[in-house]
Structure 1
């Protein structure tokens, strides 16, 4: 029996995740920086600025999803020297990313309530259901401790220097939950994520040959088709 191994998900997916994931999350955080961070004000901000808030929450959600190949890229590099730190840090961070994706879906639904039922009804609905139990909620603490564990592992493995490891650990300060606005620690946390991962992503993308010329229009075409199919329901 022949066993074939490969580096999943591959250099281009990892590099794109390392660069675009933190960058899009930073854009999302900054776009809503001018509004109060609690959910009544976030819903009111959507009622007044639906395009801006949709772009903010959409960019943040896409950036969060793109972090999964970024985390895998970092975990694989830490694993070679510090496998236990890589295992536990990676599992906790990935679990937390799933919780953030769930919260993004709830936030999206809350914004639709503003359009369908009005701002008052939307605020009452969120207030009355805020904190309701869901199986994803216990995963929220995982991402707080996960970034710290992964940062320590990256430092001990020599993957990131002390400054970038500290920057990665700062990501644990990013609030998690439904309709979270932007505070000073949100900006600090996502800037730390960018400082830790974006340079690594640039290095990953440069470390090898460029894709074939047809890969670019193919990726754009597949992406556009996926958007159209998704909007069709």
Structure 2
């Protein structure tokens, strides 16, 4: 439920800037907080999508096991690759902080095609969503419109330092249309916890998140 909304919010925040990396680096130099928020939301959204992908694959697997396995595995591998790209984005933005956008753009330009192991997953980033969409439609987990919306996620630009295009907005919107209602339905179908349990879990979550944040900042 949360992952698709974070991805959509993140891509909308950087909509007014150019698509390619020089414009993205320049935008970070002029609007560091906005761009940090945009890229952080998108990165968090991709990572948080794995439960939704697992739930959808499990539903598909009740009727079409092979489609569920291949679609689910390839999509999750694509999420791993997206997380790697987010790390490269972060490193490139630190070059802007250290030396300015022009110098960072030169460095990125000279190293953009460097090999990394996650480059082999580029096809998974796109193909996994298509397989899930086909499987969800055939298994009647999603109707034709929502399955088509899920397939649009394959059109999300991949790689590092990518801005927002009309396809980005369509893909992120399709993600919301396909998965958010599925998450709501799964939430309603499950057991309803007591109010005290909910409050206790939220307090525990806040405490754990705070401790993990402090630990991460400490290096």
1:94 aligns with 2:76: yes
Once the two structures are superposed, residues 26-49 of structure 1 have per-residue CA deviations (whole angstroms, 9 ceiling, x without a partner) of 011000001001000000000000
1:222 aligns with 2:208: yes
Matches of 1:140 and 1:221 in 2, distance apart? 37
Q: Which residue of 2 aligns with 1:232?
A: 218
Matches of 2:43 and 2:212 in 1, distance apart? 17
Once the two structures are superposed, residues 39-65 of structure 1 have per-residue CA deviations (whole angstroms, 9 ceiling, x without a partner) of 000000000000000000000000000
| TM-score using structure 2 length | 0.96
- Of 100-109 and 138-147, the range deviating more from structure 2: 138-147
**Helix, strand or coil at the partner of 1:180:** coil
Structure 1 runs (4+) greater than 2 angstroms displaced: none
Q: How does 1:45-124 map to 2 (within 5 A)?
A: 45-124=27-106
Once the two structures are superposed, residues 156-211 of structure 1 have per-residue CA deviations (whole angstroms, 9 ceiling, x without a partner) of 11111111000000100001100010000000011001000000111111222136
Matches of 1:28 and 1:228 in 2, distance apart? 24
The one of 22, 25, 28 equivalent to 2:10 is 28
| TM-score using structure 1 length | 0.90
Once the two structures are superposed, residues 135-170 of structure 1 have per-residue CA deviations (whole angstroms, 9 ceiling, x without a partner) of 100101112111111100011111111110000001
1:210 aligns with 2:196: no
Matches of 1:49 and 1:184 in 2, distance apart? 22
5+ long unaligned stretches in structure 2: none
Equivalenced residues, count: 215
Matches of 1:61 and 1:107 in 2, distance apart? 10
Once the two structures are superposed, residues 191-233 of structure 1 have per-residue CA deviations (whole angstroms, 9 ceiling, x without a partner) of 0010000001111112221361311111111111111111111
1:128 aligns with 2:96: no
Alignment root-mean-square deviation, CA: 0.9
5+ long unaligned stretches in structure 1: 1-18
Query: Structure 1 or 2: larger helix share?
Result: 2
Matches of 2:91 and 2:158 in 1, distance apart? 17
